[in-house]
């Protein structure tokens, strides 16, 4: 008897995606149903998920499925870490360029301020010189 993937998943109590992962790992084989869709033969399902087993075997099978799910999560997390490291590098470059721009801008402001101070002193000295001459 050939069951659909959904029926097989319900029968053994796992998600359909877990059955596809097991298929990709070569631990279970799919067959075609008479309508041409993928299915799993009941004997194949019993081989991979035995009905009459010790509790240890069932735990082992559940652990295998958990390990597969864990490896998928680890892969996702590794990809996320790589993405975040790239984002961090870009932000560090941005901060470095902003600091350089800020230093350049500060230096320009300081020069402008110093030049303005010199002009004011010169003007003050001129005014003072003029006022001193008028007093003499």
What's the whole-number mean pLDDT along residues 100-116?
81
88: confidence class by pLDDT, cuts 50, 70, 90: very high
For residues 117 and 39, the model is more confident at 39
Contact (Cβ atoms closer than 8 angstroms) between residue 29 and residue 23: yes
Structure tokens at 31: 């067959």
Domain 1-51 has CATH 1.10.1660.10: yes
Single pTM value for the model = 0.38
Domain boundaries, the chain: 1-51
As given in the structure block, the two tokens for residue 4 are 């659909």
- Residue 16 makes CB contacts below 8 A (sequence gap 6+) with 5, 6, 9
Query: For residue 118, what pLDDT is reported?
Result: 66
Q: What was the pLDDT predicted at 117?
A: 66
Q: In sequence order, what E strands does 1-136 have?
A: 2-4, 31-32, 38-41
For residue range 50-66, what is the model confidence (pLDDT) as tens digits? 763 333 344 445 666 66
């Amino acid at each position: 008897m050939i069951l659909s993937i959904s029926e097989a998943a319900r029968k053994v109590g796992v998600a359909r995606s877990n059955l596809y992962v097991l298929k990709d790992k070569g631990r279970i084989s799919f067959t075609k149903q008479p309508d041409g869709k993928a299915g799993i033969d009941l004997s194949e399902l019993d081989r991979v998920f035995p009905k009459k087993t010790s509790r240890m075997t069932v735990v082992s099978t559940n652990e295998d499925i958990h390990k597969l799910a864990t490896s998928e999560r680890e892969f996702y997390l590794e990809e996320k870490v790589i993405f975040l490291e790239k984002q961090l590098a870009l932000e560090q470059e941005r901060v470095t360029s902003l600091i350089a721009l800020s230093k350049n801008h500060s230096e320009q402001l300081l020069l402008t301020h110093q030049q303005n101070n010199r002009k004011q002193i010169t003007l003050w000295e001129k005014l003072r010189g003029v006022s001193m001459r008028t007093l003499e």
